[in-house]
Amino acid sequence: MSQDDRSRPSRRRTLLKILAVLALLYVFLVGIKLLGGGCSALAAGEDNFARRLISRTSNPFVALFVGLLVTSIIQSSGVTSSIVVALVAAKVLSVAQAVPIVMGANIGTTVTNILVSMGYVTRREQFRRAISAAVVHDLFNLLTVAVLLPAELIFRRFFGVGFLEGAARRLTAPLARMGDVGDTECFNLLEPVLQPALGLAERVIGTPDGPGWAAGITALVGLVFIFAAIVSFMRILQSMMLSRAESALSRVIGRSGWMGILIGAVVAATIHSSSVTTSLMVPLAAAGIVTVAQVFPVTLGANIGTTFTALVASLATCPAGMTIALVHTIFNVTGIVVFYPIPAVRRIPIRLAERVGALAERSRKLVILGAAAIFYGIPCLLIALSRGWWGS
């Protein structure tokens, strides 16, 4: 058998995977539209619980923990941010309400790294290195939120709009002018492409603004489409690109921090997962092949790359949906600008991560319980205790 004959099945498999990715992209964008339409109808109805649930996000700290909790449960900031994009585009959430949610999603996605590091819990020295490499991502995101969330709230208080939101609105203003529409009115070039599937969904389920059950089913179908499409995306793209991603990361680690950021961003955007990208670093750190300082820039790049999923989702929405997607990107880029260029500031999350590793070496149970409290216990408690949660 010739080389060409052997390569044909491989080319066919690659082509089928590419076609599958395109089909899943279509399903994903349809899911965004269905979720937005269904939730918009539910919010406009008489469901007091739904209204109370949405109103809780007017408290930025509750909204932050909602994003953290949801993402830590589903372990995908891409899914969370895509849902937020759909809700903002449907006017269920305002951009201001959504900003803390995407910040929380950034923190919540890092739980995957910690779960990977738990595989070394029985080996004290390896666990110390693994947990240090895992939590440097958490600590950077926590520090970034600690700086940028108060800044966003202060800007909103004195200027009427947060600086992240304002920057994103300026970037999306040309899109609104292109269609001669307002910031929350719908104009997107993909509407004609998505309309056949949306029309079919209306004929099968009914219009979202019809009976209450139709709106609920529409939203649920949209949510299933989004989740299934992203999970399938990740599996297909990882099967195509993961070995190349590992090779690219291994070549660049330790050579240049800025190159590590770039490669981390490209890999996370390609495989639609910052969690997978950063989790690849944990076994290398546990084995002593790389240090926390070498892992750090890759995690920063992965933070940027993971926002690509929300940007894709915003293609099927209005300018407001694009605005919150860009907020996510600007937030992560700003965090890098604040913490990475100055060596003394850059060392803060690295040294904190190393101290957590040292603590883990002495008391592994304490670190495990602390992680559970941060990602699940505290968010659940604060959401439950938020003012008026059980009120009428």
Average pLDDT, the chain: 78
C-alpha to C-alpha distance for 257 and 260, rounded to whole angstroms: 5
pLDDT at 56: 63
Res. 296 pLDDT band, cuts 50 70 90: very high
pLDDT at 384: 67
Of the two residues 373 and 296, the one the predictor is more confident about is 296
Please tell me the number of Cα atoms within 13 Å of 311 on its side-chain side.
15
Range in 41-50, 232-241, 245-254 with the lowest mean pLDDT: 41-50
Q: Is the pLDDT of residue 326 over 60?
A: yes
- Name, in order, each residue with C-beta under 8 angstroms of 76's C-beta and a sequence gap of 6 or more: 109, 230, 231, 273, 275
pLDDT digits (tens, 9 = 90+) for 19-35: 887 888 788 778 777 77
C-alpha to C-alpha distance for 362 and 374, rounded to whole angstroms: 20
pLDDT at 240: 67
Q: Please give the average per-residue pLDDT across 360-388, as a whole number.
A: 71
Query: How is the chain split into domains, by residue range?
Result: 7-385
Instruction: Count Cβ atoms below 10 Å from residue 77 Cβ, excluding itself.
Output: 31
Residue 103: helix, strand or coil by DSSP?
helix
Q: Is the pLDDT of residue 3 over 70?
A: no
pLDDT at 175: 62
* Of 223, 190, 144, 177, residue with least CA distance to 315: 190
Helix (H) or strand (E) holding 383: helix 378-385
pLDDT at 231: 74
Dihedral (Cα; 102, 107, 109, 112), 10-degree rounding: -170
Q: Is the pLDDT of residue 7 over 70?
A: no
Per cent of the chain over pLDDT 90 is 17
pLDDT at 33: 75
pLDDT digits (tens, 9 = 90+) for 92-121: 888 998 999 999 988 888 777 887 888 887
Of the two residues 388 and 343, the one the predictor is more confident about is 343
pLDDT at 390: 40
Q: Is the pLDDT of residue 388 over 60?
A: no
Contact indicator for 218, 205 with CB cutoff of 8 Å: yes
pLDDT at 41: 64
Res. 361 pLDDT band, cuts 50 70 90: confident
The label of the residue with tokens 């950077």 reads: 140
pLDDT digits (tens, 9 = 90+) for 179-233: 444 444 454 556 677 778 877 877 777 666 555 567 778 778 887 887 787 778 6
Range in 25-39, 142-156, 293-307 with the lowest mean pLDDT: 25-39
Contact indicator for 84, 226 with CB cutoff of 8 Å: no
Against a cut of 0.75, is the pTM above it? yes
